[in-house]
Chain A
Amino acid sequence: MNVHVAGSDVETRTLAIVGELKGLEGPLLPILHEIQAEFGYVPQESLPVIARELNLSRAEVHGVVTFYHDYRDHPTGRHVLKLCRAEACQSMGGDAVAERIKALLGIDFHQTTTDGAMTLEPVYCLGLCSCAPAAMLDGEVHGRIDAGLAQELIAEARR
C-alpha cells in the first residue's frame, strides 16, 4: 500500500518532475499525471512547488487538481477497480453488477476496503460498450462482467 511520504522528499521529487516537463506547451496536466504516477496521488506538499516553478498562483494549481476526476489527494488501495457506470453498461445489467461488487467488497464507490486491498471507482465509459458491462483492474480491461467474473477478479486481486 502507498504510504504518505515525508514533505521534503515530496518537494525534491516534485521539483525533478517539474524540471523535466516544464518546457512543454501547457505542462500542468503532464506534470500532475507524472506526480500521481510517482506518489500514487497528488500530495498537497507538491502544489506550492508546482505553482512556484510554473509561475502560477497556488489557487490556480489547486483549481486544476480538484477539477479533474483522475487526481487524488490521498493514496489508493493496492488495487484500483474502475467500474463503468455509463449507458451501454447499464443496458447489460451494469447496475446490478455494481451492487454485487459493492456488497462483495463491503464498500461504496470512492472507498477503499479496510484491508487496503482494493479501491472502487466509478468510470463513465471505457470504450468497451460492445462487450458490456466493462471494468478496468489496475489498467487491465475486462468485458462482459457478471457476478462470477466479478468475484474472480476480486479474489485474484486479494491474493
Chain B
Amino acid sequence: MTARIYIPRDAAALALGADRVAKALAREVEARGLDVTIVRNGSRGMHWLEPLVEVETAEGRIAYGPVKPSDVPSLIDAGLTEGASHPLCLGRTEDIPFLKNQTRLTFARCGVIDPVSLDDYKAHGGLKGLQTAIAMTPANVVKQVTDSGLRGRGGAGFPTGIKWKTVLDAPGPQKYIVCNADEGDSGTFADRMIMEGDPFVLIEGMAIAGLATGATKGYVYTRSEYPHAIAVMSEAVAVARAAGVLGPSVLGSGKAFDMEIRTGAGAYVCGEETALLNSLEGKRGVVRAKPPLPALQGFLGRPTVVNNVISLASVPIIMDKGADYYRDFGMGRSRGTIPIQIAGNVKHGGLYETAFGLTLGEIVDEIGGGTASGRPVRAVQVGGPLGAYFPRALFDTPFDYEAFAARDGLIGHAGITVFDDTVDMLKQARFAMEFCAVESCGKCTPCRIGSTRGVETADNIARGIEPEKNRELLTDLCNTMKFGSLCALGGFTPYPVMSAMTHFPEDFSPAPVAEAAE
C-alpha cells in the first residue's frame, strides 16, 4: 500500500526548512524504492514543531517534528511509513493538546488536506455551504450570515451580514466582492495560513457573498510580501474555474461569479478598506473620506463588499451548519470562533482557533507556554502595530471585542505578540510612531505630521530633555491623532503609545543623563 506522508508548504514551515526536508525524503524514498506519496499540505499551526511531518495510518495521522533534513534517514529506518516510534514522534496529531483543545471551524481543513485538490476539499465537507446558498434566496443567505453574529475579523468587528444587506439592497448593474488579504499587522498570519492551507474555503466564501449580494466579480487583494499565498490562491482559482465552481454558472446554478488575485506593492495603509479600493483601481493608496460607504460606492464607484479573509472563510461553515451552530460559540456580542495568532517571544507560537472568551493570561501563559527566551513575560501587544500593549496586570481580560475596548485596547486581527522583560517600552512607543510616519498615506495632517513629531518627542524623553513636559506633549499629540485622523492608521497609533506610557511609566522616566565628569 502506498504510504501518504504530509510535509507542509506553508511559508512558516518553509522558513524552517520544509522544502529541504521534502527533498531529503523524496531522495531517500527513491533510493530505497519505497512506495510513498508526498503531499504538500498547509500548516496545522503548531509552528514550534515545524517542519511537522505526518504519516497516514489506520489509527489516524502520526506526527513527527520538528524534523531536520538530516533526521530523514533515521525516521525511515525507524518505520516512518508505518507511523512507528522515533524520538521525534509526537503521537497522533489530533491528540497533541495544542490542537486537541481548539475549536476548529474556519481552520477545520487547514493542514489536513492538499490545498489545491478540489476532491480533497469536497471529501472534507467543502462546497456544502455554497450548495446550500444556491438553494436559498439572496435575502435568506444574508439573513443567515446576520443571524450567525459574524463580525468583521479584520479588526473593526462590523457585523458582516449588515454590510452584505447594504450591498444587496444597493442598485447597480455591477457589484463586487473584495477580499481584504492585505494582512500587514505584525503578529498576524491567519490570512496567510488559510490562503496557503485551504484556499478553496475563501473562494467558496466569496462565491457565497457574490450570490447573496448580486455581485458577479471578486478580487482578492493580497500583499506582495506573501508570494506563497499568491501562488496557492492563483492555482486554486484556476482549479475552481475549470471545475465550474467559478464562472458563468456557479455549480450549475445559472448564476455567475468569478474572481482575480491582485497583489499590493508594499503599502501597509492599503489594509484600510478605502485605501485598498484606491490601490485596486490603480491609484495611490490614499484613504477616502467616508461617507460614501464602500458598500454603496466602492470599487470603481460601484456597490462593493469589502471583507477580511477570515470573515469570508467563516461563511461556508455558517451556511453549511447553520447560523445557530456558529452563534452558540463565543461570549457577549463576540460570537463564533477566532483564530488567535500567538507570536513573538513565545514558546509555543502558532495559530489557535477557539471560541471568544479565553483570558489573555490563559492564551499567553498556558497555551503559548510563556516566552521562548525563558524570561518573564513583561508585555504583550494585541492587535498588531496599532494595538495596545498589555501588562501582566491586565491578563484577566477576556478575548472579546468589547472587553478589550473597555480596557483601551483592541483585538484587531487577533494577533498577540509576546515580549519578555528585556523590552524597552519607550522604544516600542517610538517605533509605533516611526511606523506610522513611514506608512502614513499623507492625506490627513494628524497622521502625517503627528507621527513625525511623535518620534521626536519620544526621542526627547529618551534623552531626558524635559521629560515631564514631553510626556504631556506626547499625550496631547496622541489625542489629536486619535480624534483627528481620517483612518485607523493615525487614529489607532495612539493605542500602543498611550498603553506603553500608562502601563509602563518607569520606562518613560529615564535616569537623568549623568553630567560629564569635571
A contact set with B: CB distance below 8 Å: 24-30, 32-33, 54, 60, 63-64, 67-71, 82, 84, 86-92, 123-132, 134, 136, 139-144
* Further contacts, 5 of them, CB under 8 A, given A26-B281, A91-B417, A130-B189: A25-B299, A29-B262, A70-B266, A92-B372, A143-B16
Q: Contacts A87-B417, A126-B225 given; indicate if A131 touches B282 (C-beta within 8 A).
A: no
Question: Does the CB pair B282–A64 fall under 8 Å?
Answer: yes
Interface: B138 (CB within 8 A): no
Q: State in angstroms the CA–CA spacing of A131 and B65 once bound together.
A: 15
- Tell me, in angstroms, the Cα distance from A123 to B227 when the chains sit together: 14
Q: Is the interface of B mostly helix, strand, loop or mixed?
A: mixed
The answer to whether residues A86 and B186 also contact, given A29-B279, A127-B226 and a CB cut-off of 8 A, is yes
Q: How far is the CB of B175 from chain A (nearest CB, A)?
A: 13
Within the complex, the shortest CB–CB distance from A145 to chain B, in Å, comes to 9
Contact B385 A132 (CB under 8 A): no
Q: Which residues of A contact B154 (CB under 8 A)?
A: none
Is there an interface contact between A91 and B267, defined as CB atoms closer than 8 Å?
Answer: no
Contact partners of A88 in chain B: CB under 8 A: 186-187, 343-344, 417
Asked if B354 is an interface residue, CB under 8 A from chain A, the answer is no
Q: Does B431 reach chain A (CB closer than 8 Å)?
A: yes
Question: Can you report 9 residue pairs joining A to B where beta carbons are below 8 Å apart?
Answer: A25-B281, A26-B300, A29-B282, A84-B186, A124-B438, A125-B188, A128-B11, A129-B189, A130-B48
Interface of A is mostly: mixed
A91 and B228 CA atoms in complex are apart in Å by: 25
Question: Which chain A residue shows the least CB distance to B277?
Answer: A26
Given contacts A30-B262, A68-B266, A132-B344, contact A142 B186 (CB under 8 A): no
B263 touches A91 (CB 8 A): no
**B380 and chain A: residue at smallest CB distance:** A91
**Chain A: minimal CB distance from B192 (Å):** 4
Among A124, A127, A144, the residue within 8 A (CB) of B16 is A144
Asked if B183 and A131 sit within 8 Å, CB to CB, the answer is no
The CB with the most chain B CB atoms within 10 A, among A33, A54, A124, A129, is that of: A129
Residues of B near A139 (CB, < 8 A) are: 227
- CB neighbours (8 Å) of B227 from chain A are 139
Chain B residues 57 to 76 lying within 8 A of chain A, measured CB to CB, are: none
A residues within 8 A CB of B266? 68-70, 123
Contact between A127 and B262, CB atoms less than 8 A apart:
no
With A26-B280, A64-B282, A86-B385 as contacts: A92 and B344 at CB distance below 8 Å: yes
Contacting residues, chain A, for B343 (C-beta < 8 A): 88, 129-130, 132
Chain B 416-428 interface 0/1 with A at a Cβ cutoff of 8 Å (1 = within): 0111100100001
A4 to B343, CA, bound (A): 42
Structural contact, B284 and A64, CB atoms closer than 8 A: yes
Q: State in angstroms the CA–CA spacing of A64 and B342 once bound together.
A: 35
Complex contact B186–A124 (CB within 8 A): yes
Contact B186 A70 (CB under 8 A): no
- Contact assessment for B350 and A130 in the assembled complex, using a CB-CB cutoff below 8 Å: yes
Which A residues are in CB contact (< 8 Å) with B290?
none
A120 to B388, CA, bound (A): 30
Bound-state CA distance A139–B228 (Å) is 9
- Give complex CA distance A149, B260 in Å: 37
Residues in A with CB closer than 8 Å to B299 are: 25-26
Whether A125 and B185, one on each chain, are in contact in the complex, defined by CB atoms closer than 8 angstroms, is yes
Closest to A56 in B: B282
Contact check, A70 vs B224: say whether CB atoms are below 8 A apart. Answer: yes
Which of A89, A127, A143 makes the CB contact (< 8 A) with B188? A127
CA distance A86 to B384 in the complex (A): 10
Given contacts A68-B267, A91-B418, contact A130 B12 (CB under 8 A): yes
Answer yes or no: B56 CB below 8 A from chain A CBs. no
Whether B161 is near chain A, meaning CB under 8 Å from some CB there, is no
A124 & B417 in contact (Cβ 8 Å cutoff): no
